[in-house]
Amino acid sequence: MGETTATMKITYREALKQSIRDALHQDERAFLLGEDVGRYGGAFAVSKGLLKEFGPDRIMDVPLSESGFVGAGIGAAVGGMRPIVEVMTINFGLLAFDQIANNAATLLHMSGGQINVPVVIRMGCGIGRQLAAQHSHSWEPLFAHIPGLKVVSVGTHEDARSMLLAALKEPDPVILFEYTAMLNLEGETSTDFQPVDLTHAKIRRVGKDVSIITYGAGVYKSLQAAEALAQAGIGAEVVDLRVLRPLDDKTVMASVSKTHRALIVEEAWQSVSISSEVSARITEQCFYELDAPVRRLGGVEVPIPYPKHLEDGSIPQQEQIVSATKKLLQHD
């Protein structure tokens, strides 16, 4: 018999916190900066207790100016540090968009390859917790559009525990999307934390009938939907994109070529989205492998409502994934 890997139950929030602790212990150049990350313990309690453990030089509270402190993080990265910049929620990332798109993403190119910017920018993301139209967004496609950035999505407890460490080893800027609706979600992770691959998508469940391609908060919903589909005799393969820029075409195309059907699930608005890009690439690269048109399931194109029932109705849920998959398969 093979060895059994030891596991532990942990919340998504705690997995994120432990990843920051590991990063600070492993690299003395690493430090965390952001609004309320120190004395308050983070807007979502992700950094609670770290100020006492590491001190104010490595857990730095900053003024309420995203452009200012993201710019400071970029400057520190150029100077040889390994800053972890926390942007409380993705909508505030727009206030730093100039720094991210016009400085972090361009300096390597504009310096003729002489200036690397090894900054990691963590952003709270996704729909949920009744944060309404100003604080509840899945805007990953905006950042995945920009050359010069690596954009990754933390869709599982495994990745929450280990993805930051991999991001800090990148020589160029990484945008790390974390999902606020998942913070209290408990999950099993291995106690043997392996480095995360920031190059490839990951097959989370193997299947033969249809590929459900997703990321972020869609991963667990898709896995639950795949479990329900299995009860109906449908083998759904769940592909977690993980890296939204650059996309891992090889893994996606291999899955679709095997199952011959693709459903792409995301919380972001469907128009001009990650699913739009993945759908186009599937059509370009393996059109003749398809037994049915590619189907997309995205967020309803409205500002995110505050009421819980409307918020839930604005994004794909497990039941909709199951229904869309059955329609794709013409399954009764």
Tens digits of residue pLDDT in 155-181: 999 999 999 999 999 999 999 999 999
Whole-number pLDDT of residue 311: 86
Catalytic residues: 66, 135
CA-closest candidate to residue 98, choices 60, 136, 131, 65: 65
Q: Name the fold adopted by 7-190.
A: Rossmann fold (3.40.50)
CA 261 to chain centre: 24
Are the CB atoms for 140 and 151 separated by under 8 Å? yes
CA atoms within 13 A on the CB side of 65: 8
| DSSP letter (8 states) at residue 126 | B
- Please indicate whether the domains covering 7-190 and 202-329 agree at the CATH topology level: yes
Residues of the chain whose pLDDT is less than 50? 1-2, 332
Whole-number pLDDT of residue 83: 97
| DSSP letter (8 states) at residue 173 | -
Are the CB atoms for 143 and 175 separated by under 8 Å? yes
Say whether 9 sits in a helix, a strand or coil.
Answer: strand
Tokens, residue 280: 């186009």
Distances (CA, A) of 59 to 63, 77, 83, 99, 257: 14, 16, 10, 21, 47
One-letter identity of residue 136: S
CATH number of the structural domain 202-329? 3.40.50.920
How far is it, in rounded angstroms, from Cα 324 to Cα 225?
10
CB atoms closer than 10 angstroms to residue 305: 18
Distances (CA, A) of 265 to 102, 222, 240, 276, 324: 30, 8, 10, 11, 10
Residue ranges of domains in the chain: 7-190, 202-329
Q: Does the CA dihedral 272-275-279-285 come out positive or negative? A: positive
Are the CB atoms for 238 and 212 separated by under 8 Å? yes
**14 CB contacts (<8 Å, ≥6 apart)?**
none
How far is it, in rounded angstroms, from Cα 253 to Cα 260?
10
Assign residue 167 a region (left: φ > 0; alpha: ψ between -120 and 50; beta: otherwise): alpha
Helices (H), ranges, the chain: 12-26, 50-54, 66-78, 90-93, 97-99, 107-110, 132-135, 140-144, 157-168, 218-231, 249-259, 274-286, 308-313, 318-329
Whole-number pLDDT of residue 117: 97
How far is it, in rounded angstroms, from Cα 278 to Cα 168?
27
CA atoms within 13 A on the CB side of 157: 18
- 47-103 pLDDT per residue, tens: 999 999 999 999 999 999 999 999 999 999 999 999 999 999 999 999 999 999 999
Total-model pTM:
0.92
Say whether 83 sits in a helix, a strand or coil.
Answer: strand
Whole-number pLDDT of residue 3: 53
- Give the DSSP letter string of 196-251: P-SS--EEEE--SSEEEEE-TTHHHHHHHHHHHHHHTT--EEEEE--EEES--HHH
